[in-house]
Amino acid sequence: MTEEDKKRKDEEPAFSLDQIMTEYRYAATLSGRARPVRPEQPVSKDTQTFQKLANQKEAAASFRATAPKAQERALGKTAERIPDRSPDRSPDKAPDKAPGKAPGKAPGKSSGKAPKKAPEEPDRQVDFGPPETFGKAFAPSENFVRMQDDILEDEPWERGAPPPTESFRTRQRRRRRTEKPQGPSLPPDKAAVRLAPYIRFLTIRLLVAAPICLFMVFLTFSHRLEISLPSVFVFSEKRMVFMSILTILQILVMICGIDVMSRGLSDLFHLKPGFESVILFSCVANILYTVSSFLKPNVPVFLPYSAASALAVLFAMWSFRVRMRAYQRTYTVVAELEEPIVVSRDEALWTGGTLIKSLGGAPDFVSQAEMPDGASRFSRFLAPLEIIAIILCALIASVGRQEPQRFFWALSAISSAAVPLCGAFCFALPFYKIAKRLARSGSALCGWVGAHAFLSPCALILTDRCLFPRGTVSLSGLKVFDGFSFDRMISYSASLTNASESSLAFAFTELLHNQKDAVLPVTDFRHHEGGGIGGVIGRDSILMGNATFMLRMGIRLPQGIKQKNILFVAVNLDLVGIFAIHYNAANSVRHGLNILLRGGVTPLMATRDVNLTPPFVSRVFDLDLSGADYPMIEQRLLLSDPNSYRHANTPAVTGRETLYAAAEAIVGGRRLWKATRINIILHLLCALAGLILMTFLAFRGEMATASPCNVISYLALWALSTFFISGWVHRY
């Protein structure tokens, strides 16, 4: 062996088996191909097998054969083969070949003699470079036995636990599976067109199911009305035929409401039962009661509750149509807006929720509007408990009094009374009322997302343009002092107000255009907290504000000025002119402020006009704005800047810049949430009261009191309360 080979051999890194395995596992963890194993935790059999194989010489030799290549990729330089320094190596295995020598022959020795073992050297630490580079480049070999994700699928691992060794990296807990992201949201116009055929088909099925339900209710009440009917329609004469007729009619109604039944069955199949699942359960219970009556003719037969279940299906279909009509009307309004104005919510701008009006599109409006509402989410929680409670109560009312043959009757009776007719209208009917009103003003509410965004205490940002739109602020008079140039004063004042972007800008700019002058550039523009603005035009320093601001700046004012809403203009600390401003209160703005105040929304005045303060606005609009927020000038400038915020969602959209349109959408969303909450409470009380009362009557054997006529009357009264609550939601 030459001296160059000996020197190269001494510089080669010595790898121990433990070092190789440790660094390999660390690299495999970084690359995502393997999962670390904590020694103190129990491991699976596959992991134990892996550890045994890793300690064997075949796995070590295989890994040593591929380690130099991985080191080359990690460190970016050439590496030699790593010599095998294992003490129990077989003597008949030839050593690595040296440069310029034939394989299998040691330098300076004949091929017939066994090579001498190389002296063992102590293990030395090796620098693999930065972990990021090493983790990306250090790829495991194909011959190496790797841990797969399915092997350690059930292995416990705590988040944030310390690694077993310094070479390991803590592995985070596997993320929970989330629902698959929905596809791209449909444009509102296409969504409205998509709903049209479904609404027509649903209307036809409603027109078919409604007469059937009315006929079933008539047959149920016929024995109390004492109307002479054919014997087949009289329960006391031909009970089995009468029950068969009602069951057939109920099945026809279920076929008409196939969307309700299919949705209830799908929710049950996915173990997420909702309100439709409870309706399906009630219908099946009534059919089972009829079938059991045929199979056991000796058991007493009572009047079936098929009419109550059919009415539940009919009302669910009706609620579907009402909901789809509300969505169709909402999508049509949004599709007709050329430049939609989004009313969104931002929690970071001001204390509490801040409502913002900003120009922008609504790309995800349809997908957000069709998200599950509060009533649907509540039914997901209530439905499984209700189904279990119905079964248990039926067992108590039948088996509990040693009459198991009455189980199906008790099941049908209790399930019919525990399914409120008003349950399907908790959100659909109030949403339809709100959508119908907002469509008149060119606004649209984004379903439950809009209602939820406006429910908590919030404040609406009111800018100069919100309170006094273009054309409502005008100049009622002006005066020039000390022989100052009239055109020059107008140009300075118009340029300064135009830089402030306040409600005065349009009035002064219009006056400047009448004088056929142009707006001058303003430098060093600033707002003052005392009620004024200032800037530099050319070599002149301009100040403009109310009397208080001018006195604070040390400018002398003339005596005897009795007019209100006066603006003073000073050039180089000399008073040069006075402007009298007239503010015209628009009726739409007054109505919008009134709606906000009655709806519990706080006005957040982010005005730039020096005159627009809460007392002044209260006096102009004749409203009490003592509860309005009026922040400092720096915060008002930030809140009134449209570039300081971005809307993440779209609770409401309007096509008008008026305050009235935005106020209607905001208060409509708040009232929609309140009405839905009240309807959910009524739904819960109706279901709970019906469940308890019917269980008590069935257990006591009060068949006459627990008759289908009383159940239908009970459900109808609760449904009227829901219609009454939903009837005032749009009256504000």
pLDDT attached to residue 186: 83
Q: What is the dihedral of CA 51, 52, 58, 63, to 10 degrees?
A: 10
The tens digit of pLDDT for each residue in 583-629 reads: 999 999 999 999 999 988 999 999 988 888 898 999 999 998 888 88
Question: H or E stretch including 256?
Answer: helix 239-256
Dist. CA 39–CA 123, nearest whole Å: 23
In degrees and rounded to multiples of 5, residue 639 shows phi and psi of: -70, -30
606 and 631 Cβ atoms separated by less than 8 Å: yes
What's 614-662 look like in SS3? HHHHHHHHCCCCCCCECCCHHHHHHHCCHHHCCCCCCCEEECCCCHHHH
The answer to whether the Cα torsion of 481, 482, 483, 484 is positive or negative is negative
Helix axes 659-700 and 428-440, enclosed angle (nearest 10): 160
Q: Label residues 214-252 b or e (16+ Cβ within 10 Å = b).
A: ebbbebbbbbeeeeeeeeebbbeeebeebbbbbbebbeb
What's 671-687 look like in SS3? HHHHHHHHHHHHHHHHH
Cα 423 versus chain centre, distance: 24
pLDDT attached to residue 640: 86
Dist. CA 93–CA 641, nearest whole Å: 80
Dist. CA 409–CA 672, nearest whole Å: 39
Low-confidence ranges of the chain (pLDDT < 70): 1-184, 644-648
Dist. CA 48–CA 3, nearest whole Å: 45
Residue 618 CB coordination number (10 Å):
15
pTM for the model stands at 0.71
Dist. CA 106–CA 111, nearest whole Å: 7
- Cβ contacts of residue 242 below 8 Å, gap of 6+? 219, 232, 233, 234, 235
Dist. CA 18–CA 24, nearest whole Å: 10
435 and 329 Cβ atoms separated by less than 8 Å: yes
Strands 602-605 and 540-545: unpaired
CA distances (Å), 418 to each of 53, 411, 423, 513, in order?
A: 63, 11, 10, 73
CA distances (Å), 140 to each of 9, 29, 76, 85, 507, in order?
A: 25, 11, 17, 22, 75
Residue 267 identity (one-letter amino acid): D
3-state SS, residue 155: coil
The tens digit of pLDDT for each residue in 66-107 reads: 545 544 444 444 334 434 444 444 444 444 444 444 444 444
CA distances (Å), 22 to each of 15, 58, 95, 148, 670, in order?
A: 11, 17, 26, 17, 60
pLDDT attached to residue 22: 54
3-state SS, residue 313: helix
368 and 449 Cβ atoms separated by less than 8 Å: yes
- Cβ contacts of residue 38 below 8 Å, gap of 6+? 157, 161, 164
Instruction: State the Rg of the chain over Cα.
Output: 41
Question: H or E stretch including 330?
Answer: helix 306-335
Question: H or E stretch including 532?
Answer: strand 532-537
Q: Which residues pair with 653 in a beta bridge?
A: 342, 444
